[in-house]
Amino acid sequence: MLMTYRMEQTMRWYGPKDPVSLQDIRQSGATGVVTALHHIPNGEVWSREEIIARKAQIEAAGLTWSVVESVPVHEQIKTRSGAFLQLIENYKQTLRNLAAEGVYTVCYNFMPILDWTRTNLEYLLPNGAKALLYEKKAVIAFDLFILQRPEARQEYSPEEIAATEIYYQNLSPESKQLILDNILKGLPGSEIGYTLEEFREMLQTYAGIDAKQLAEHLRLFLDAITPVAEEVGCFLCIHPDDPPFSLYGLPRVVSTAADARRILSQTPSVHNGLTFCTGSYGVRTDNDLPAMVREFGERIHFLHLRSTRRDEAGNFYEDNHLDGNVDMVAVIQEVLTWQEKRKKRIPMRPDHGHQILDDLNKKSANPGYTAIGRLKGLAELRGVEEALVWVANKK
């Protein structure tokens, strides 16, 4: 098969206060920007005026606004409580306004309360670089001894509880505070940060909502907004849970190939699709990522390419983009095949990056989103893509 389509190369940008500037992004070789109107409170309509202003800023730098990440889904929509019907109407209007200004790809997630979770934002690698780490003991320690969730002791094994108690007793007060901050204060892209008491109160809003019920709430939400996406030409792409398993008793419903299959089949419109995040899906041993791209490629509208390295204890860290447990070459090969079938470029961003070189001496406002680590990742991913295209076209 002659390959003529390349992935659309983008970088995430957190707006005017992001220490990584639009000029930095342009110098990286990316042509598109992935961003959102983070200053607008969750649930409010994004006005055309605000969208126009952000788009003009991006285009003045010689780039395009390729993907919205994210239009947040309000917690009341997820729990179908309070003003959820009005909040869904607000979401529809935001989709209309984005499409009216030529922004058609909309990423979102359906994770309850917490967005992506890590316990150490400066995990030191052997080469001196720093990465993001998820340590299971730290999560269990937070649940048992900081959050003190009543049901927690029934959800872990006696061996896990005993080992975690020793671990927690040996932590310094500063380390305990750091775990709390990293889990509750919100990471880049998170909708909001919480105090400990606020988090306890939010957990109560999910009382009685299990995975089956949350999956139904997601279906109802998609059935409500997908017709609007079809009408205006938007492509919705749901991001998987990160990490892809339950935390603090909260259900997760976008973690496996079976979850993706359910979401796509229940709302069978091409405008209802996936953000295929190799790092999130790749944490689970039961997710075969190349096979998932083969199966769902027609409905993958956005790519997050990164790799994680997991261990048998349930920990994982962000590895180099071409290392870890993700077969990135095989994933990109499947993506290229689908692009030819669809006659369409899929936007991709190198997701997360190590803190390396000069960025080690800078205070990172957005952990995982330093410039040089992502530039390294983008260069590696572009190299894989070009090599695969060259080989395919020489046959």
pLDDT in tens, 28-67: 999 999 999 999 999 999 999 999 999 999 999 999 999 9
pLDDT in tens, 286-331: 999 999 999 999 999 999 999 999 999 999 999 999 999 999 999 9
Q: What's the average model confidence in pLDDT over 162-191? A: 86
For residue 190, pLDDT beyond 80: no
Q: How many percent of the chain have pLDDT more than 70? A: 98
At 187, the pLDDT band (50, 70, 90 cuts) reads low
**Burial degree of 259 (CB within 10 A; 0-12, 13-18, 19+):** buried
pLDDT in tens, 63-99: 999 999 999 999 999 999 999 999 999 999 999 999 9
Nearest to residue 238, comparing CAs of 192, 185, 296?
Answer: 296
pLDDT at 365: 67
At 115, the pLDDT band (50, 70, 90 cuts) reads confident
For the chain, the distance separating the N- and C-terminal CA atoms, rounded to the nearest angstrom, is 9
Provide the annotated active-site residues.
239, 277, 304, 351-352, 369
At 189, the pLDDT band (50, 70, 90 cuts) reads low
pLDDT at 188: 62
pLDDT in tens, 233-255: 999 999 999 999 999 999 999 99
pLDDT in tens, 2-34: 899 999 999 999 999 999 999 999 999 999 999
pLDDT in tens, 206-219: 999 999 999 999 99
pLDDT in tens, 125-150: 999 999 999 999 999 999 999 999 99
**Sequence-distant contacts of 159-166: CB under 8 A, at least 24 apart:** 163/137, 164/137, 164/140
pLDDT at 191: 59
pLDDT at 395: 75
pLDDT at 192: 66
Domains and CATH numbers, the chain: 8-131+208-394 (3.20.20.150)
For residue 345, pLDDT beyond 90: yes
Q: What's the average model confidence in pLDDT over 110-128? A: 93
Residue 2 sits at φ, ψ, to 5 deg, of: -70, 130
Q: Which of helix, strand or coil describes residue 318?
A: strand
pLDDT at 242: 95
At 364, the pLDDT band (50, 70, 90 cuts) reads low
Mean pLDDT for all residues in the chain: 95
For residue 257, pLDDT beyond 70: yes
pLDDT at 185: 72
Tell me: cis bond preceding 72? Omega within 30 of 0 counts: no
363 versus 186: which is more confidently predicted?
363
Across 197-236, b (16+ Cβ under 10 Å) vs e yields eebeebbebbeebeeeebbebbebbbebbbebbeebebbb
pLDDT at 346: 98
144 versus 1: which is more confidently predicted?
144
